[in-house]
A and B are shown apart, each in its own frame.
Chain A
């Protein structure tokens, strides 16, 4: 089989065994990026030369020091710091910003032998569900070039879908790994809050942000998670909970797992093709021995409201640092200090980011703090209670990742509320800090990928990964490659 179609486990077995050099493997994907990315636009910077240098260094290493991901090219979303390469976050205000250090997860990938192959496009500061809010370029869905790849990790999802890299990292504050994974037909995991270090990631909403892997299969995702998960004293929210051997645990016997289906997951507002694929997915899980039951999560109908109040409040605070003083863009038009800051932010930040900063500032402002910010935090507690009660009865919760397949580029760009509502199924996992895996479960009539999520207990990625893996052993959807990328 051609190299680029092979799994992370197959590729790293070859590189570790010396049958394939890191340089050969890296060049295979560099060639694919050169052939296909001009059409797709997944990469802001393919980092070809640094990747070649890294591969050469890996090839010069003694065989005994080869890591588990030896020579594996991995792309990272442009919100994750890689020393010496620009980290723009899709924003003009950080266009010239070059990090002086690697994010912990990049450091861990490198230590495992991975080659960082490129920074991927994203919605500005991860705010968006279509990657259309990038200030630099449009990323197209490899399954239909007139449609969005989803967002905000749309570049990472599109890159993996077209197999321009075998795996990528994204970040997920309200669905930004899972939603683009679903719309591009790849597998993506948002780990438990605290499972993966966020040191070196640009913060959007700190009580919700988490980084995680995206790849073709659950097995690939498990290999990546094993490399990036674990304690980091530099991120105080990061947990020192032991890291299991996720890839080994994929094949464990799950017995008769109990799976909960929330009523909203089969309710109104879901596209017919998505509903049909989701029903078939549930049948597939039942055929594997799962016992399914309907569960009720009453407070989750308020999740979208709760999320947009809290996430924007946190964002307005986190993004106050972009003021043209210490790094990033400074406006040359103003002479006073405050005028310079306001002008730098005006020139440097895009429309959606400004909108969210204003909303967050409103939510936190005098007279509204109690009614909006604190109220939303209390609603968040109710949503968490619903989840705790549900997990007393079930081992995992399933729901569609998105209500519809990928929508056309431009369709929702002038209607922020309708864009926000496309996150309805993903944001609850962020609000409660639970791990959630999106797997491809079918194609729509128009040939667009559809995904479903498995949500697990805190720090129990192993169960949802094992379920996803069991499903994918009997399914071909995760191996499907869009027509334009098959050569």
Chain B
């Protein structure tokens, strides 16, 4: 079974863009280990020849003639209003901290 030690939690946090304290890494490691140990039980179930389901219901979505919409342009949100809600913007763009040194 997978081992969720501090080192792995740190690697996962990096992938997920989360800054964690050492105390959080320890705590999350233990809790995630417990949850994964519980979930591990599904390994006992025989799923050979069973296809994976990636959505709740294949019938969901539009059917018949409505399945594809006409390829027409519609009004989207106004740029100024969207940028007003951003933490930082300028010249019609989202601004972020300097990327290149």
Contacts and interface: CB of A to CB of B under 8 A. Distances in A.
Interface of A: 96-98, 100-101, 192-194, 207-208, 231, 233, 236-241, 299, 302, 304-306, 308-309, 316, 320, 323-330, 334-343, 345-346, 349, 354-355, 357-359, 361-362, 365, 368, 371-372, 374-382, 384, 416-417, 420, 430-433, 458-459
A121 B42 CA distance: 34
Summarize A's interface: helix, strand, loop or mixed: helix
A239 B63 contact: yes
Contacts of B42: 302, 305-306, 309, 375-376, 379
Interface string B42-74: 110101001111111101111110100100000
A341 B15 CA distance: 12
Rank and list the top 4 A-B pairs by shortest CB-CB distance, nearest first.
A194-B60, A433-B56, A377-B52, A433-B57
Nearest to A319: B16
Summarize B's interface: helix, strand, loop or mixed: loop
Interface residues of B, number: 56
Contacts of A365: 12, 15
B17 A382 contact: no
A379 B94 contact: no
Contacts of A377: 52-54
Interface of B: 2, 4, 8-9, 12-13, 15-20, 24, 28, 31-32, 34-36, 38-43, 45, 47, 50-57, 59-64, 66, 69, 77-78, 81-82, 85-88, 94, 96-99
A380 B61 CA distance: 19
Nearest to A382: B50
A339 B99 CA distance: 11
23 contacts: A100-B82, A101-B77, A193-B60, A208-B56, A236-B62, A238-B61, A240-B63, A302-B41, A309-B39, A325-B87, A327-B86, A335-B97, A342-B17, A359-B32, A362-B4, A371-B43, A375-B43, A377-B54, A378-B51, A381-B52, A382-B50, A420-B35, A433-B57
Given A362-B4, A362-B12, A355 B31 contact: yes
B35 A416 contact: yes
